[in-house]
A and B are shown apart, each in its own frame.
Chain A
């Protein structure tokens, strides 16, 4: 038997024997144990409060001692919503990938859901769920969680679907040939392949989630009173309304601390761990380091838990969900398409069409009740907000492109700034608004200008992110060529930099536009010290309609806004993107 030629193994830090790994000190293990226990206790306590009876009026105490509690509650809501969004995304993407007819429905539906401004649904959702659980807080909690879910689920579903569609053909065939079965195929192939995209999108989803959370913890009830959930969002709102700047600042600091902690303790280790799912076939170059991941890997406690709890549990689940098949020589397993399976797509189509029809009729009925003057107001408001959106986008591009390109083309700064920008982008603009309002209301133009600046604040990070990524992706040989041939200054921008970042810029603007419209709902009206300021705009109309429970106007306003966003997407951004993909690709 011929001996293989033994190659020299390249040094790879991720798979060296465990002997090389530094042992995590015991006190870290003890700390982890304490944290886990504390978290479990916290969850149980929170669950108990959900059974409490509901009541209107202020529950939030503007006291620094309560801040950690509120922060914990808000984080809990976010976590639950995220887990539901994750499961939803996995299931939705999987179903959409199974059949072409499903895909034709499900993807456009996701697109529409993504473009609809969520915050306008706030009151409707709350009322519906409160009615389901009369008299209990749990209805409100579910409503908040549902709203956060809607801001998190869509991009994860898209991303996972995209990864399912791009699994290399031979890997899929290997899974079929070696009879992996549906569950094992999912856990051994589809999930690992999509892990990197899922983690990246989870980070984005959390950022989007914070944005909605701040607003979903309080909503108007009957007779001008408010329903409130204890949490950071309602704390911020109360503080703003009371004009208590100190409290606002403290709440903001708490929020930032939580976001940074999550980044360090959760996202960074996850990203470092997900390196093993990279498809490239050579040993890793630079793996982003994570102290937390190293600590977990070297920890005796984690090892013990893994060996004695996680691995056996995983194995039993695996066995339970997969049916073992005895491979009998000479027998080929028959697979027949049962009758009902073939009919299923048609049944689904019928149901969906039925729902769409019913929804459209109900909407049409509702809308016909609106008078001409109301439509005119909506139209003017839409126009005003549209102008603000454009101004905000232009301002965003004006500063993010130079700064982003500068950062992206300087590798030192690029690597250092990436995590910082990510964290800043996670801080929801809605949390910062209250603080800035007091400053900005004094400006000329009043709330109108303030609204533009606030929309800018909420959306510029998407653009910056993408511009940095685009600048980092400019191949070095093109840069060297431009230096050699003396192409500098404006000409360099025109011929090299702008075309290179164009696709990334378009992607950033696509997301930014939707974000700007969504932000308008919270930026165009505010109540400070029991005084309500508002300006002409679609966002103000929507908020006002939801406060006064004018459902007709609310519905009309939301539809108009969604229509504008979707049309803008299709007509402008998608076209620009396909132009970018064909003409400006760097490969």
Chain B
């Protein structure tokens, strides 16, 4: 087995690359009640690096990107640009946005020139530079077109041209390909990689925020796996050597495996796991940074994945039809789902005890098989039993309902409780998910207008042991 360098320690060299941008112990709170979005995040961006910030949706990685770019100040801690504290938007950072953020009333040429307006160039020079950027990104001929005439991929090309024309020192990309279809995204990714590898652009470092594991592995020199609630760096991994990023070699498979495991086990100590993996493979191992990993965060509270009942039952039934087992990668491809949507689904079925995730295999449990084959009433009964046993939020709500004199509870109370542990947006999402599950299981009814949860008398569960 060829020695895979994917978790070799960083070589100690005398001329360490310059740190272009660094976040030091950054914390970020939102709102008056100080819901934490980022918790003690320290990240460095060095010259010559392509760094991927990988994490599930809503984990705060976009917030971290904005704090690093200077678009918003950190609540605590600081951001250093070239060693100096940063106090405003960094003029040497350009961002490519997920939704393209093109100005609909400006032509492609005007959109690309936008970043140059603030520079002392003459209009002629501006025009020329913009023209060059447009050529570079493959849109020559479309200078006078307006964004509404362009496809998604072309719009993002304009986004890239706009970012590159200002010759930024650091390029930030906030999920730049997630709004595009698979083929276009792949195309653009390869072009970006070519531009970076051939040094066709004077950019010295790139930061990519993404939730797509494949994307991170294909592009990055260094991968930061981000965890949610609140946002924090769970582990830093060294990316694959450039030559091994595309083909499906053993090194690539191992890295993707590791990351899958880390992301599907949010409560585990990621750094310890990575060390363990490296040790198993017989390599001397330290996580890339050589620093002690972020303190293990024992989850005080369970997080419900954002999965609807239809998707859940459909997934379990699908698993049953393919023989009760499936590889995560293949499942995502066959069901044409995005990776993190599938992971959420797997997490939900795992939580309820209908399936198990081992390495990259999803295995249907006997209870899951029974659930898949049951008729509607029996299906609901099985679900009721499992949900009551495994979902603590559901248990809590049913207990509250039983204890209340009128057997009804205001949704505001539940939301307030949830907001102690989650941001208000996440609390809302958790609430909606548990209401969806609770209504399906006929534990309670919910009146959207009055915001009231009421116990469903017909299906009162016997008191749990």
Contact = CB atoms under 8 A, between A and B. Distances in A.
Given A1-B194, A178-B166, A179-B118, A325 B103 contact: no
Contacts of B92: 327, 329-330, 332
B101 A332 contact: no
A273 B162 CA distance: 26
Contacts of A583: 449
B119 A324 contact: yes
Interface string B201-240: 0000000000000000000000000000000000000000
B139 A173 contact: no
A323 to B, nearest CB: 9
Interface string A573-587: 000000000110000
A192 interface: yes
A188 B106 contact: yes
B138 interface: yes
Interface in A290-330: 315, 322, 324-327, 329-330
Interface residues of A, number: 50
A4 B138 contact: yes
Contacts of A276: 104-105, 146
Contacts of A14: 146
B241 interface: no
Interface stretch (B149-157, B247-255, B392-400): B149-157
A171 interface: yes
A383 B90 CA distance: 63
Contact of A176 (B89, B117, B157): B89
B114 interface: yes
Contact of B81 (A181, A184, A332): A332
A425 B114 CA distance: 42
Interface string B57-81: 0000000001001110000000001
Contact of B71 (A176, A278, A326): A176
Nearest to A14: B146
A4 B88 contact: no
A189 B119 CA distance: 18
B82 interface: yes
B118 A180 contact: yes
Contacts of B82: 330, 332
B118 A322 contact: yes
Contacts of A4: 138-139, 153-154, 157, 187
Interface in B304-343: none
B91 A179 contact: yes
Nearest to A3: B138
A353 interface: no
Interface stretch (A280-288, A395-403, A502-510): A280-288
A170 interface: yes
A281 B119 contact: no
Contact of A177 (B89, B119, B153): B89
Interface stretch (A206-214, A333-341, A475-483): A333-341
Contact of A334 (B71, B88, B103, B149): B88
A343 interface: no
Nearest to B116: A178
A149 to B, nearest CB: 29
Given A179-B115, A583-B449, A325 B105 contact: no
Contacts of B118: 178-181, 184, 322, 324-325, 327
Contact of B87 (A12, A171, A332): A332
A315 B71 contact: no
A368 interface: no
Contacts of B91: 179, 325, 327, 332-333
Contacts of A486: none
B147 A281 contact: yes
Contacts of A277: 104-105
A26 B147 CA distance: 34
B95 A189 contact: no
B248 to A, nearest CB: 21
B139 A282 contact: no
B98 interface: yes
A166 interface: no
B463 interface: no
Nearest to B84: A332
Given A9-B149, A276-B146, A332 B86 contact: yes
A181 B118 CA distance: 8
A507 B120 CA distance: 49
Contact of A179 (B89, B146, B155): B89
A170 B101 contact: yes
A332 B88 contact: yes
A54 to B, nearest CB: 47
Contacts of A168: 99, 101
Contacts of B149: 9-10, 12, 15, 283
- Which residue, A326, A332, A335, A336, has most C-beta atoms of chain B within 10 A? A332
Contacts of B106: 188
Interface in B112-162: 114-115, 117-120, 123, 138-139, 144-149, 151, 153-155, 157, 162
A83 B449 CA distance: 45
B116 to A, nearest CB: 9
B95 A177 contact: yes
Contacts of A336: 87
A109 to B, nearest CB: 25
A180 B191 CA distance: 28
A242 to B, nearest CB: 53
Contacts of A582: 449
A183 to B, nearest CB: 10
A344 interface: no
Interface in A330-374: 330, 332-336
Nearest to B107: A15
Contact of B148 (A189, A282, A335): A282
Nearest to B190: A2
Nearest to A172: B101
B98 to A, nearest CB: 7
A178 B88 contact: no
Nearest to A192: B105
B363 interface: no
A315 B113 CA distance: 14
B93 interface: yes
B101 A173 contact: yes
A7 interface: yes
Interface in A254-291: 276-284
A65 interface: no
B88 A333 contact: yes
A282 B149 CA distance: 6
B119 to A, nearest CB: 6
Contact of A184 (B69, B117, B154): B117
B97 A173 contact: yes
B352 interface: no
B72 to A, nearest CB: 10
B90 A332 contact: yes
A425 to B, nearest CB: 29
Contacts of A281: 104, 147-148, 155
A436 B13 CA distance: 95
Nearest to B117: A184
A19 interface: no
Interface string A378-400: 00000000000000000000000
A184 B103 CA distance: 13
Interface in B164-210: 166, 169, 187, 190-191, 194
A322 B169 CA distance: 24
Contact of A173 (B71, B84, B103): B71
B372 interface: no
Contact of A329 (B69, B105, B123, B169): B169
Given A324-B120, A333-B91, 4 more contacts: A15-B149, A174-B95, A281-B104, A325-B118
10 contacts: A2-B187, A4-B153, A170-B98, A173-B66, A174-B95, A177-B89, A178-B166, A276-B105, A327-B166, A334-B87
Among all A-B residue pairs, the 6 with the closest Cβ atoms: A335-B88, A179-B118, A178-B115, A170-B101, A174-B101, A4-B138
